[in-house]
């Protein structure tokens, strides 16, 4: 599109606006030789690469170039690229599943695309049409659909990433960018027979803070957690339970959203998760868990293993470690779990806080009835065994 722009002498000349991302321009270069498929039991999260990847570049003069689906391989970037120096790097986590007729499906992908737009905007990366990107992701999945495992609990993990590629130093927003999408077949995030993850509650180091970037999926949010994680591991804990403020409010568990189920005096259950106050990532699985709890309570669905007569009273509100300790001492804690795309639902076995371990109820399959019911319902919706509000989308 041509835009008239005044010149120094008062005349005007046509300036061409940067080209928008356009999925119809995709170039597909298939690998000459395909890799052998990995045996499902050998899969470790994020280690196996499929045959192809998607890549598209943006420069400030021409805009978005032609997207390309090409054989998986290294990127070539200038050493001064903004992504190396100032970390304008954002990503998403998605999964593809096989439907009842063998078709590839995505789970609520538009929520991922909308969050990716918000994250990119937060670090001033060039804008893009997320609808066009979703079309390209579906096309890539079609090309590499043979990599989607057909076993329960298995999937094809999808990592859309946007990085700033301005090839110069200087603390300024990157006016150049690269979008790339890679795929990796994945099995269960935690090994079978796990007794529940153990958490060390930490408030001295924080994962995010009010007014910060914790509500966006930025690469820079993750590295500061690695060193506290090492400390927790040396003390015998699997993950960090991040606390914030003098009142030690619970935020996230590792890189997951946190839920606590507590029994009420009337026999129902309070299901509590911290609110989205800017310090907590608005997780897709979090939103789905909340919606399914509400649907169970209103009778739209019945979570497997949870009696329909048991109401789940959903609360998005602050939750402190002191309150968790009080509920535990009263014998009201039924179960706790973390949720996220990679793991879906992960049981919490114990929390260490101020020299004390709170050991939660142990269940045969590690997950309690509510967590297990959520896991079963979400995975059934993902594979279209159960239809719910159009959450499962065919890659067509």
Average pLDDT over residues 374-380: 96
Residue 336's nearest CA partner among 253, 249, 259, 271 is: 259
Min mean pLDDT across 184-198, 264-278, 296-310 is at 184-198
pLDDT at res. 256: 96
Average pLDDT over residues 69-90: 97
* Band of pLDDT at residue 194, cut at 50, 70 and 90: low
Collapsed DSSP state (helix, strand, coil) of residue 163: strand
pLDDT at res. 1: 45
**Mode of pairing for the β-strands spanning 27-28 and 68-71:** parallel
Tokens 């280690």 belong to 47
* Band of pLDDT at residue 188, cut at 50, 70 and 90: confident
pLDDT at 312 over 90: yes
Task: Specify whether the CB–CB gap between 127 and 147 falls below 8 A.
Answer: no
pLDDT at 279 over 50: yes
Distance CA 114, CA 118 (A): 6
pLDDT at 299 over 80: yes
C-beta neighbour count of 190 within 10 angstroms: 16
C-beta neighbour count of 305 within 10 angstroms: 17
pLDDT at res. 364: 74
The angle formed by the CA atoms of residues 358, 359 and 364, to the nearest 5 degrees, is 160
Distance CA 314, CA 188 (A): 27
C-beta neighbour count of 299 within 10 angstroms: 9
Q: What is the pLDDT of residues 323-347, one digit of tens each?
A: 999 999 999 999 999 999 989 999 9
pLDDT at 4 over 50: no
Average pLDDT over residues 48-73: 97
Task: Specify whether the CB–CB gap between 64 and 22 falls below 8 A.
Answer: yes
> Positive or negative CA dihedral for 294, 300, 305, 308?
positive
* Band of pLDDT at residue 180, cut at 50, 70 and 90: very high
Instruction: Work out the mean pLDDT of the chain and round it to a whole number.
Output: 93
Distance CA 93, CA 369 (A): 26
pLDDT at 5 over 60: no
pLDDT at 151 over 90: no
Average pLDDT over residues 303-328: 97
Query: Domains in the chain, ordered, with CATH?
Result: 17-30+38-186 (3.30.470.10), 197-373 (3.20.10.10)
Residue 181's nearest CA partner among 27, 55, 94, 31 is: 55
* Band of pLDDT at residue 191, cut at 50, 70 and 90: low
DSSP string for residues in 105-151: EEESHHHHHHHHHHHHHHTTPPP--HHHHHHHHHHHHHHTGGGS--S
Task: Specify whether the CB–CB gap between 362 and 396 falls below 8 A.
Answer: no
* Band of pLDDT at residue 2, cut at 50, 70 and 90: very low
C-beta neighbour count of 363 within 10 angstroms: 17
With a threshold of 0.85, does the pTM exceed it? yes
Contacts of residue 254, defined as CB under 8 A and 6 or more positions apart, other chains included, come to 197, 199, 225, 229, 238, 239, 240, 338
Q: What is the pLDDT of residues 125-147, one digit of tens each?
A: 999 999 999 999 999 999 999 99
* Band of pLDDT at residue 14, cut at 50, 70 and 90: low
pLDDT at res. 382: 95
Average pLDDT over residues 212-224: 94
Burial class (CB in 10 A: 0-12, 13-18, 19+), 5: exposed
* Band of pLDDT at residue 365, cut at 50, 70 and 90: confident
pLDDT at res. 10: 56
pLDDT at res. 17: 84
Min mean pLDDT across 14-28, 86-100, 192-206 is at 192-206
Burial class (CB in 10 A: 0-12, 13-18, 19+), 196: buried
């Amino acid at each position: 599109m041509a835009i008239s722009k005044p010149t120094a002498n008062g005349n005007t000349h046509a300036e061409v606006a940067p080209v928008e991302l356009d999925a119809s321009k995709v170039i597909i270069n298939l690998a000459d030789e395909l890799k052998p498929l990995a045996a499902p039991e050998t899969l470790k999260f994020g280690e196996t690469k499929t045959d192809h990847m998607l890549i598209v570049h943006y420069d400030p003069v021409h805009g978005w170039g032609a997207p390309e689906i090409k054989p998986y391989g290294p990127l070539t970037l200038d050493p001064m690229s903004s992504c190396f120096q100032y970390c304008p790097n954002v990503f998403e986590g998605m999964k593809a599943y096989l439907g009842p007729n063998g078709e590839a499906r995505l789970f609520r992908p538009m929520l991922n695309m909308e969050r990716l737009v918000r994250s990119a905007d937060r670090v001033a990366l060039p804008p893009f049409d997320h609808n066009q990107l979703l079309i390209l992701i579906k096309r890539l999945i079609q090309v590499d659909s043979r990599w989607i495992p057909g076993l329960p609990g298995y999937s094809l993990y999808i990592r859309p990433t946007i990085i700033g590629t301005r090839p110069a130093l200087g603390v300024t927003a990157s006016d150049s960018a690269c979008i790339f999408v890679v795929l990796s077949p994945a099995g269960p995030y935690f090994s079978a027979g796990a007794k529940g993850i153990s958490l060390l509650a930490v408030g001295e180091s924080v994962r995010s803070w009010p007014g910060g970037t914790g509500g966006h999926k930025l690469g820079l949010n993750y590295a500061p957690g690695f060193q506290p994680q090492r400390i927790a591991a040396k003390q015998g804990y699997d993950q960090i339970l991040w606390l914030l403020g003098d009142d030690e409010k619970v935020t996230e568990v590792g890189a997951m959203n946190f839920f606590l189920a507590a029994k009420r005096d009337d026999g129902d259950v309070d299901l509590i998760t911290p609110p989205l106050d800017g310090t907590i990532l608005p997780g897709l699985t979090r939103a789905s868990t909340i919606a399914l709890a509400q649907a169970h309570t209103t009778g739209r669905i019945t979570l497997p293993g949870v009696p329909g007569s048991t109401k789940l009273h959903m609360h998005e509100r602050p939750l402190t470690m002191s309150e968790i300790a009080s509920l535990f001492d009263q014998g009201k804690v039924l179960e706790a779990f973390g949720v996220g795309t990679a793991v879906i639902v992960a049981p919490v076995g114990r929390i260490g806080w101020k020299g004390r371990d709170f050991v939660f109820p142990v269940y045969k399959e590690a997950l309690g009835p509510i967590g297990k019911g959520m896991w079963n319902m979400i995975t059934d919706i993902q594979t279209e065994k159960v239809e719910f509000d159009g959450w499962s989308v065919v890659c067509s």
